[in-house]
Structure 1
C-alpha cells in the first residue's frame, strides 16, 4: 500500500515538473516580449530623464533600469 502511494506521489511530482517547463516557442515569445518592452521603455526614459538632466551616464542608467524592469515584469 505504501509503495503504491509513494509511486503515485512520484509520478505526480514528475508530471508537475514536466508541465511546468515552457515550450521553446513560449521561450522565444517571452524573449520577443522582453525586447519589445526594452525598446519601448528605453526611449521614454531617455526623453524624460536625459534631456532634463545633465548626467554623463544617463543613457546607461536608463538602459540598465529598463532591462531590469522588463526582466522583472516577465518573471
Structure 2
C-alpha cells in the first residue's frame, strides 16, 4: 500500500507568526482503492478535521495554542 496523493496544510498565526506544516496522505493501491487519513495533529495549533476515508479531510476549525487566535490556512497538493 503506497501513497496515492497528499495535501500539505500550512498554518500561520497572524499574531505570533508561528508557522507549521503537516501532510495528510491518501494511501491505497490498484487493488485496495484509496483511503485518506482522518487528519493529523499539529503541535502549535489546536485543529479539528472533517472527512477522511473516502473523502479528503479538511480543517474545520483551528486556533493557535499560544495566542488563541485563528491561523491562516493554506493547502496545496504535492
TM-score bracket relative to the smaller structure: under 0.3
| TM-score normalized with structure 1 length | 0.23
Q: Which has the higher helix share?
A: 1
Q: Which has the higher strand share?
A: 2
Bigger Cα Rg: 1
